[in-house]
Structure 1
Amino acid sequence: MRRPPRHAERGAALLLAMVIVTLVATLAAGMVWQQWRAIEVETAERARVQSSWLLDGALDWARLILREDAREGGSDALTEPWATGLAEIRLSTFLSAGQENTTDTDLNAFLSGDISDAQSRYNLQNLATDDAKLFQAGQAILARLCDLLGLPSSVASVIAEDMQAASDAQDLADEGQKIQAGAPVRIQRVDQLRWLGLDNATVEKLKPYLVILPQRTPVNINTAPPEVLMAVVEGLDRASAQRLVQQRQTLKKGFEQLSAAQSLLGQKVKLEAQHVGTTSSYFLVTGQLRYEDSVQREVSLVQRRGLNVRVLWRERVPVL
């Protein structure tokens, strides 16, 4: 029997070697990819945990500021330290302050934050009531706000009726009764007004002036913008609202009593304690972190009772 030519044997051996090399290269590439993927996942998880920890720091800063403000007592106004905000600061510089080694670290992160008074906005929870007079007063306030923002009055009706209906459904559920199918769900965020069929443009116009809190609250006359003041105080014109805003900026803690603000308005306009006040219990805390190649922002709602500052909810929001 004739043996294959020697060049054929060499060709087969070469082909086998190429197959082996290809197989080894494929396996090696797969192992490298798996290792790279594991490193990327670990890096992303580490960045997420560190970001969360750093944003916790911004929230703790806000709670400390609000607690110290509570020790002083009195009214709450935009002239106080809590309203100043935390300017963007490089954390490596902050962490090395007071240490002998002031050289920069590898933590290339920048943190900023601010505190805003949630009661500077009109609380839609005020509409969730069985009291007909309170509901009508709240609906009138919302209608005036919509008019000031150039929105149709039907927007106020839709929001008010849904808030009341959702409240009624929740009361039935709390009593253990069966809720009818299709009953409205109580919304928790102003963004969720879109569930009522409102378009994005309408919701964006309303967002700076509305809030949804766990309970009924008056608007803080020391922090509310002119539009909200004109909405909650019947008969208040823009000139008078601007006068209140200008006057409160000259006071250390704003208007300590409603009577001080009332003296600027005369007898034609009446400030009612059920709609306006001078103190606040709810605040919105915004923390922003620039870390490596990402920017993350978190908004939290906190409630202050005495010296206790409790976080009610936290959520990440997109950075525009």
Structure 2
Amino acid sequence: MNRHSPPAAKQQGMAIISALLIAAVVAVMAGAMLTRQTVFTRSLEAEQLRVQGSWLLQGGLQASRQLLWEARQKDVLTRLDQPWARPFGGAVEGQLDDEQGKFNLRNLVTQQIPDATQLQNFQRLCELIGIDSVVSQRISQRVIASYDQRTTTPADSSPHTDVNNPRGTVPGAAAEILPAKYPMLRSLDDLSGIKGLEPRVLTRMAKFVSVLPDTTWVNGNTASAEVLSAVVPGLSLPQAQALVIERDSGRWFINRGDFVNRLRMPQVAVDTVQVGITSEWFRWQGQARREQRRVRAEALLYRPEDRQARIIWWRVGA
């Protein structure tokens, strides 16, 4: 009978253990490579779905631009009963919002000077929608600090906005320009760092407040009762609510004079009411579903009188 010597048996046992260790290491490496490959594949698939969703969203955006153009061709008024104002569905779901039916924070600064009247209007709106006065003051300060400001003389201390020229007019000339302390606002999301401005409050604000690149009037045909009550001197919220109910029943305002007459407030002069009946600025929001993934996007559109709406900015999110 052949017998192995103890050293030979020990060597054989070590060889077996080494082989098992090598096999284990190879298995771990193979598993890690397979995991990385799986992650890479899934990332690639997710990116492909995102790109496909982005193309769908761009198609939906172009369709909305066409709706805005057609509405402008048919009627100078911008109203909530027009096709653009209806939520859209299909491959892309979403809606267009009239940003001039909201209070434009850009109006807080007119010709590089804080506008006292607009500041009062904004504070009034914040009271109506339940935003704490301290928080609303912080918002105003942040907005003002986002734009260049000029030194004023006593004659310049009361800027006003001319509704026939929404960019406003201020007498006098600037002696000195003070640069903005913060980047210019592009959307309400830029206010998220303000102390006390919680996400739920910011979400609520979005229904009544916009941030546009230029000063604007409020569209009386699309504005909420809260916004109208805030921007029309002496108009109570119940009066504004009654006015909106009458308007939405089909009695749309045909011009600013018609709006003022239906206020039934003889003390209010047409030139003091910063309310119009058309809109140039719209916010588009949409989402596309590709398999189990949703891709969302939003855009700011500017619609001049004589051409199709132009895309000011566009961003895609997960």
Q: TM-score, normalised by structure 2?
A: 0.78
What residue in structure 2 maps to residue 215 of structure 1? 214
Q: CA deviation at 1:13?
A: 4.6
Counterpart residue identity of residue 116, structure 1: D
Q: Percent identity?
A: 30
Q: CA deviation at 1:314?
A: 2.4
What residue in structure 1 maps to residue 160 of structure 2? none
Q: After TM superposition, list the pairs within 5 Å mapping 1:45-60 onto structure 2.
A: 45-60=47-62
Contact 2:188 2:202 in 1 (8 A): yes
What residue in structure 1 maps to residue 76 of structure 2? 74
Q: CA deviation at 1:279?
A: 0.3
Any unmatched runs of 5+ in structure 2? Answer: 152-173
Contact 1:236 1:269 in 2 (8 A): no
**Whole-angstrom distance in 1 between the partners of 2:34 and 2:234:** 72
What residue in structure 1 maps to residue 155 of structure 2? none
Q: After TM superposition, list the pairs within 5 Å mapping 1:23-172 onto structure 2.
A: 23-87=25-89, 89=90, 91=91, 111-130=92-111, 135-168=115-148
Q: Secondary structure at the match of 1:68?
A: helix
Q: CA deviation at 1:152?
A: 4.2
Contact 1:129 1:167 in 2 (8 A): no
CA offsets, 1:185-225, max 9 Å, x none? Answer: 43222232244434215434433211110101000000001
Counterpart residue identity of residue 75, structure 1: L
Counterpart residue identity of residue 116, structure 2: Q
**2:241 counterpart of 1:242:** yes
Q: CA deviation at 1:125?
A: 0.6
Identify which range, 64-73 or 23-32, moves more after superposition: 23-32
Identify which range, 295-304 or 76-85, moves more after superposition: 295-304
Contact 2:301 2:313 in 1 (8 A): yes
What residue in structure 1 maps to residue 17 of structure 2? 15
Q: CA deviation at 1:289?
A: 2.2
Q: Quick one: structure 1 residues 24 and 257, their matched pair in 2 at CA, closer, same or farther if it must change by over 3 Å? A: same
Q: Quick one: structure 1 residues 183 and 10, their matched pair in 2 at CA, closer, same or farther if it must change by over 3 Å? A: closer
Calculate the aligned-residue CA RMSD, in Å: 3.1
Q: Secondary structure at the match of 2:249?
A: coil
Contact 2:66 2:308 in 1 (8 A): no
Q: Quick one: structure 1 residues 30 and 317, their matched pair in 2 at CA, closer, same or farther if it must change by over 3 Å? A: closer
Contact 1:71 1:307 in 2 (8 A): no
Contact 2:100 2:282 in 1 (8 A): yes
Q: Secondary structure at the match of 1:51?
A: helix
Contact 1:191 1:207 in 2 (8 A): no
**Whole-angstrom distance in 2 between the partners of 1:285 and 1:312:** 11
Q: Quick one: structure 1 residues 8 and 222, their matched pair in 2 at CA, closer, same or farther if it must change by over 3 Å? A: same
CA offsets, 1:219-252, max 9 Å, x none? Answer: 0000001000000111112333123212222338
Number of equivalent positions: 289
Contact 2:65 2:309 in 1 (8 A): yes
**2:185 counterpart of 1:187:** yes
Q: Quick one: structure 1 residues 62 and 248, their matched pair in 2 at CA, closer, same or farther if it must change by over 3 Å? A: same
Counterpart residue identity of residue 258, structure 2: A
**Whole-angstrom distance in 2 between the partners of 1:195 and 1:24:** 51
What residue in structure 2 maps to residue 309 of structure 1? 309
Q: CA deviation at 1:170?
A: 9.6
CA offsets, 1:57-79, max 9 Å, x none? Answer: 22122112112112213100001
**Whole-angstrom distance in 2 between the partners of 1:193 and 1:27:** 48
Q: Quick one: structure 1 residues 186 and 16, their matched pair in 2 at CA, closer, same or farther if it must change by over 3 Å? A: closer
Q: Secondary structure at the match of 1:236?
A: coil
**Whole-angstrom distance in 2 between the partners of 1:186 and 1:7:** 80
Contact 2:96 2:285 in 1 (8 A): yes
Q: Quick one: structure 1 residues 260 and 42, their matched pair in 2 at CA, closer, same or farther if it must change by over 3 Å? A: same
Identify which range, 255-264 or 152-161, moves more after superposition: 152-161
CA offsets, 1:231-286, max 9 Å, x none? Answer: 0111112333123212222338x222122222322213445476110000000111
Q: Secondary structure at the match of 1:285?
A: strand
Identify which range, 277-286 or 17-26, moves more after superposition: 17-26
Counterpart residue identity of residue 220, structure 2: I
Any unmatched runs of 5+ in structure 1? Answer: 92-110
Q: CA deviation at 1:7?
A: 4.6
**Whole-angstrom distance in 2 between the partners of 1:78 and 1:70:** 13
What residue in structure 1 maps to residue 283 of structure 2? 284
Q: TM-score, normalised by structure 1?
A: 0.78
